[in-house]
């Protein structure tokens, strides 16, 4: 069994933050329930190809998130925002870009790997 499989599966626990939106008026926390799909990684068959496309998508998503964070923070600061407002906006945009890019890249890599296997 791959330790990486359990690491990616454990990201499903982030979905527990969604309960903040259930029990308070902060409905934006309901978006965290989207991470519940990551629990599927506990049950998949991991192999070298799976580990390759998961690490590749994670690395590219991280880099994209850092770039988006930098440009968003800089743009927000130059547009007249305070330093803390610019940093918060950059962190939020970078995190959102990382999550979205990772989801898209994992899907693309998985579909291309399935196509190679199935012909």
Regarding whether 92 and 62 lie in a shared domain, the answer is yes
Same structural domain for residues 54 and 25?
no
- Number of domains observed in the structure of the chain: 2
Q: Do both 57 and 106 map to the same domain?
A: yes
**One digit per residue, pLDDT tens: the chain, 119 residues?**
478 888 888 989 999 999 999 999 998 899 889 888 889 888 888 788 888 888 899 999 999 999 999 999 999 999 988 888 999 999 999 999 999 999 999 889 888 877 777 76
Identify whether residues 74 and 119 lie together within a single domain.
yes
Residues 58, 41: one domain? Answer: no
pTM greater than the 0.85 cutoff: no
- Give residue 119's pLDDT: 62
Q: Are residues 77 and 99 in the same domain?
A: yes
For residue 31, the number of C-alpha atoms closer than 13 Å in the C-beta half-sphere is: 7
Shared domain for 36 and 69, answered yes or no, is no
End-to-end CA distance of the chain: 27
Say what the pLDDT of residue 109 is. 87
Domain that holds residue 104: 47-119
The rounded distance, in Å, linking the Cα atoms of 41 and 53 is 13
């Amino acid at each position: 069994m791959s330790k990486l499989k359990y690491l990616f599966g454990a990201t499903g626990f982030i979905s527990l933050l969604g309960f903040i939106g259930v029990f308070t008026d902060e409905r934006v926390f309901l978006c965290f329930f989207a991470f519940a799909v990551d629990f599927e990684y506990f049950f998949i068959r991991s192999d070298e190809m799976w580990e390759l496309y998961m690490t590749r998508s994670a690395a590219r998503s991280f880099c994209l998130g850092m770039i988006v964070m930098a440009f968003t923070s800089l743009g927000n600061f130059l547009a007249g925002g305070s330093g803390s407002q610019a940093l918060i906006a950059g962190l939020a945009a970078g995190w959102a870009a990382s999550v979205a890019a990772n989801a898209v890249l994992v899907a693309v890599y998985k579909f291309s790997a399935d196509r190679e296997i199935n012909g």
